[in-house]
Structure 1
Amino acid sequence: MVIEWALSFALGVFTAFFLMVVFGIRPFRGRRVRAEDPFKGAIERRLSSGPFIVAVGGGTGLSTLLKGMKAFTRNITAVVAVTDEGGSSGRLRTEWGVLPPGDVRNCMVALAENDNSLKQLLDFRFDRGELAGHSLGNLLLLAVSELCGDFRVAVEQMNHLLAIRGRVLPVTTEPISLLGATKDGTRVRGELEISRNGRSIREIWIEPQNARPLAEVLQAVDGAEMILLGPGSLFTSVIPNLLLPDFSRRLCASPAPKVYVCNLMTQPEETEGMNILQHLEWVSAALGKVPDFIVVNSEPIPDDIVAAYSRDGAAPLHLDRHQREDLRRLGCTCIEVPMVRITEARLLRHDSQKLAAILFRLYRDLDI
């Protein structure tokens, strides 16, 4: 009962602020005098004049990348997959018929100016009663969707309400499902089954196959100066976006350089036993062309971390001489750089600041 009351209160407060934004209501109409901060103003001008970036993916990988990128530009559009069916997102998708909000929420938090405080609030997860397993952020996005009657509009309003440095968009608002076929002809459906059978997947597609991307997503691609793919789960975060035909065609037609950011480790079951070249081949097949660049980690990973991950079937992704030669033949320029961060919980993550700095250095060197 206490949890339900707390949720109702939180939703009420959030709804009040939402209505203020939608209808232009300002809670304080008195004249306010505020000293200008020239340093902050200079930062805002620098960020506003930054390059136009489109980042494609989902899950933890994309939000990690965005957290670093917001220090260089606010002209970021994150295009997020909507095939998630696990955890809180999966339950809301089944029970409410809403698109999965989890990855969208994570990306908005990553682009928020005060992301640490916001993350603590929106990532709060209930552990009792009917709300057990749901995060507050997912429920808030659901509430705004119900108020608006449209998931796209709800995401746009959340972008505005959280004052994020950039824009987060679902790749489509149509309900789509991920399907695949294994090497022995078995048909699998949904992200969870695709992930469990990743080692034997022969083909992957979405239904409906003619799902349309958002017009705003295509406009962002047309104006992009650099397009980033990943990092993130290969079959369940990066590739699902590229399986929308109109979206992949627009990406290919864009003159902006395409950069694939490779994962640090293989993923148990999903990409177990795969090397970097095989990751790139799957991305290229879904995109319709080989990306211009691939960013790969060159930093050694501590032995204890490798041992811990190997117990679950994951292994470090590093290039060898043969893969480098194959990449050159494919016309893909390889950028090998140190970009490892180890969390307090001894989890392996991309260093968001290092990765963003590498990507913007590449942008400057290309003189786009």
Structure 2
Amino acid sequence: MRLRPGSGAKRWVFATLIGLFLTSLGLNLLLFVLIAESPFHYLLLDFLPGWLRASLLIVLGLALGGLGIARLRSILQHNVWPELRTPEGPAMLRAFVKRQQRRQGPRVVAIGGGTGMPQLLRGLREYTDNITAIVTVADDGGSSGRLRRQTGALPPGDFRNNIAALSDAEGLMKSLFQYRFPETNGRDEDEQRNDLAGHSFGNLFIMTMAAITGSFEAAIAESSRVLAVRGRILPSTLENITLCAEVRRTNEDGHIEWVTVQGESNLPKSGGQIERVYLQPAHARAYPEAVRAILQADLIVAGPGSFYTSVLPNLLVEAIRDAILASSAVRIYICNVATQPGETDGYTVLDHLRKLREHVGDAFLIALANDNYTLQTQPSPSTRWVTIPPKSEWGDFQIFSGDLVDAERPWRHDSHKLAARLMEIYATLAERSHKV
């Protein structure tokens, strides 16, 4: 809780300090008088010159303080941390120092969803514990979509993925949280309504926690606590939003037509080029904690993740967008490694930035993109590399690049490469802003 200006707190803090000083002075004087009037008055050394008495007290104080520090150090080494004397000791000490550095790391807000954001979070957690992931609630497909339709609650899938990415829990617990019950072939959704088929255990866990705690946001907080999450996972809004798109496509007669598509899972299947996305309701209220995290952030990151269905839905929440524009933090958009069928076919990095500007203004003028296109011809049969155009075409955009690709899954980022390059860029930009 912050104190309001003019509340008078400072004067009473000062009064308290003066009171403590006067009390100490009084106790010192009382002790002096008691000793002077006792048989032990010689302890005051009043037979010596004043300068000599002061010097003796200073030397005695330094000697006792030094002895105390030496003994405490010995106790720590031999009793509290006996492992430091083993071959693994230096590594343990380095881990302790690293943990302290993470606790003091920059306040990072990551905005997105899907499978892209967990890749970033797994890398970021090596640099800071002060992470806030703001996650889309527009998902209406798969297990999350079924639960959303059946219960009316927010979709838990993206939250589950990010909780697992930031969790310190043992591997078995994380595997349990991510476990998905096998699909039942040949049965439609109505037949599977009461089945576990296709559901993730983590999704069911979150929904159960929501029923117990009484709210979705409390369920996320408690689930994060159970899995020892470092950081926070927050929704961009608590409203039941629907993602809609204006799509341009060619009909059977060869003419261009414009259609409106509703539902996040339907956008990639629209058969045309997505030109604009928007939310229903249009003025969804932002989750207050998400806005507060953005305003307090040192670094705000959008992406990686599905551009139209994971990243933009968060930014279209008006208060989220306005908070980003008002923030003094370093703001970086992380561009996907590969294009996405039905969403960003043929897009370059510059296309992503221009579409981002069309939807949310100048929230992100800086991008981080992959520049390693040499692993194979294309990242996958259905995708293409997202390339960086010549610098002469950038305009007022700024693009940083690096080898960010996962060699085993070239359509995704490598968590460690991505986080390392991101923090390097953040340090450079933060230093520039301090010099201005």
Which TM-score band (shorter chain)? 0.7 to 0.9
Q: 1:335 aligns with which of 397, 400, 416?
A: 400
Matched-pair identity in %? 36
Partner SS, residue 426 of structure 2: helix
Q: 1:358 aligns with which of 421, 430, 434?
A: 421
**Residue 49, structure 1, aligned to residue 104, structure 2:** yes
- Tell me the distance in 2 between the aligned counterparts of 1:120 and 1:46: 28
Q: 2:389 aligns with which of 320, 332, 338?
A: 320
Deviation of the 1:317 alpha carbon: 0.9
Deviation of the 1:265 alpha carbon: 0.6
Q: What is the Cα-based RMSD across aligned positions, in Å?
A: 1.9
Structure 2 equivalent of residue 266 of structure 1 = 339
Structure 2 equivalent of residue 349 of structure 1 = 412
Deviation of the 1:357 alpha carbon: 0.7
Judged with a 3 Å threshold, the aligned counterparts in structure 2 of structure 1 residues 218 and 185 are, in CA distance, closer, same or farther, namely: same
Structure 1 equivalent of residue 51 of structure 2 = none
Judged with a 3 Å threshold, the aligned counterparts in structure 2 of structure 1 residues 39 and 273 are, in CA distance, closer, same or farther, namely: closer
Q: 2:124 aligns with which of 69, 76, 101?
A: 69
The question of whether the paired residues in 2 share the 8 Å contact of 1:290 and 1:332 is answered with: no
> Matched residue pairs, number?
325
Q: How does 1:1-368 map onto structure 2 within 5 Å?
A: 38-114=93-169, 116-127=171-182, 130-183=195-248, 184-197=257-270, 199-289=272-362, 291-303=364-376, 306=378, 309-310=380-381, 312=382, 314-321=383-390, 324-327=391-394, 329=395, 331-343=396-408, 346=409, 348-366=411-429, 367=431
Deviation of the 1:325 alpha carbon: 2.0
- Tell me the distance in 1 between the aligned counterparts of 2:146 and 2:98: 41
Judged with a 3 Å threshold, the aligned counterparts in structure 2 of structure 1 residues 358 and 347 are, in CA distance, closer, same or farther, namely: closer
The question of whether the paired residues in 2 share the 8 Å contact of 1:257 and 1:292 is answered with: no
Bigger relative CO (Cα 8 Å, ≥ 6 apart): 1
State the AA in 1 paired with 2:326: A
TM-score scaled by structure 2? 0.71
- Tell me the distance in 2 between the aligned counterparts of 1:115 and 1:212: 36
State the AA in 2 paired with 1:334: I
Judged with a 3 Å threshold, the aligned counterparts in structure 2 of structure 1 residues 128 and 250 are, in CA distance, closer, same or farther, namely: closer
- Tell me the distance in 2 between the aligned counterparts of 1:115 and 1:325: 49
Deviation of the 1:117 alpha carbon: 3.7
State the AA in 2 paired with 1:356: A
Off by >6 Å, runs of 4+ in structure 1: none
State the AA in 2 paired with 1:348: W
- Tell me the distance in 2 between the aligned counterparts of 1:115 and 1:341: 24
Judged with a 3 Å threshold, the aligned counterparts in structure 2 of structure 1 residues 319 and 40 are, in CA distance, closer, same or farther, namely: closer
Judged with a 3 Å threshold, the aligned counterparts in structure 2 of structure 1 residues 75 and 291 are, in CA distance, closer, same or farther, namely: same
- Structure 1: runs of 5+ lacking an equivalent: 1-33
Partner SS, residue 301 of structure 2: strand
Larger radius of gyration: 2
Deviation of the 1:201 alpha carbon: 2.1
Judged with a 3 Å threshold, the aligned counterparts in structure 2 of structure 1 residues 121 and 210 are, in CA distance, closer, same or farther, namely: same
State the AA in 2 paired with 1:283: L
- Tell me the distance in 2 between the aligned counterparts of 1:193 and 1:48: 41
Deviation of the 1:247 alpha carbon: 0.9
Deviation of the 1:40 alpha carbon: 4.3
- Tell me the distance in 2 between the aligned counterparts of 1:128 and 1:332: 45
- Tell me the distance in 1 between the aligned counterparts of 2:201 and 2:410: 24
- Tell me the distance in 1 between the aligned counterparts of 2:271 and 2:347: 10
TM-score scaled by structure 1? 0.84
- Structure 2: runs of 5+ lacking an equivalent: 1-78, 82-91, 185-194, 249-256
State the AA in 1 paired with 2:353: L
The question of whether the paired residues in 1 share the 8 Å contact of 2:139 and 2:264 is answered with: yes
- Tell me the distance in 2 between the aligned counterparts of 1:286 and 1:48: 35
- Tell me the distance in 2 between the aligned counterparts of 1:318 and 1:352: 20
- Tell me the distance in 2 between the aligned counterparts of 1:342 and 1:87: 28
- Tell me the distance in 2 between the aligned counterparts of 1:66 and 1:78: 8
Q: 1:145-200 CA deviation, whole Å, 9 max, x = no partner?
A: 11012101111111222221111111111100001122333111011222223742
Partner SS, residue 109 of structure 2: strand
Structure 2 equivalent of residue 8 of structure 1 = none
